[in-house]
Amino acid sequence: MIGRLNHVAIVVADLAAASEVYRHTLGARVSEPVELPEHGVTTVFVELPNTKIELLHPLGADSPISGFLHKHPAGAIHHLCYEVADIGAAAETLRKRGMRILGDGKPKLGAHDKPVLFLHPKDFCGTLIELEQL
Ligand code: CO
């Protein structure tokens, strides 16, 4: 069902400092910050040859990642994103297999304007999983 690893998301305390680490210390290609008010995050994308790293920082008072940053003030891996060909079919199959989809269970447009879903970490080895339809 799942295909390539699309990205690994890391919540960081300081987007500029994290961008510096990836751009200058590690020598990667790093985007400018993009604010996504409807998701309550500001993102920076790091392009690697085989995947991406998504640096996330809370945006606005009730960002869904504020609590996570509070628990992990030094920053931490937040989720993994796997690609799927058909997100509706993937959701239905996972539901039949007893897996929990977060929120209302319906795909939403994610950071790349592609439909995404999030899966319950307790069903997936303690890891928050994002599915993205290409
Ligand atoms: Co993501």
pLDDT of residue 110: 82
CA distance 6 to 115: 13
When the candidates are 1.10.10.10, 3.10.180.10, 3.90.550.10, 3.30.565.10, the CATH number that belongs to 5-133 is 3.10.180.10
pLDDT of residue 120: 97
Q: Ligand 1 centroid vs 97 CA: distance in angstroms?
A: 23
Q: Respond yes or no: is residue 35 known to be catalytic.
A: no
Rounded Cα distance, 33 and 111, in Å: 12
Angle among Cα 75, 83, 107 to the nearest 5 degrees reads 85
Global pTM value:
0.93
d(CA 118, CA 103): 8
Report how far ligand 1's centroid is from the alpha carbon of 127 (Å). 13
Beta bridge partners of residue 58, listed in sequence order: 41
Ligand 1 centre from 117 Cα, in Å? Answer: 10
Q: What is the pLDDT along the chain (134 residues), one digit of tens a residue?
A: 999 999 999 999 999 999 999 999 999 999 999 999 988 999 999 999 999 999 999 999 899 999 999 999 999 999 999 999 999 999 999 999 999 999 998 998 887 889 999 999 999 999 999 999 98
Pairing of strands 76-84, 5-11: antiparallel
Question: Coil, strand, or helix at residue 93?
Answer: helix
Whose tokens are 């993937």? That residue is 90
- Nearest CA-CA partner of 9 in 121, 122, 134: 121
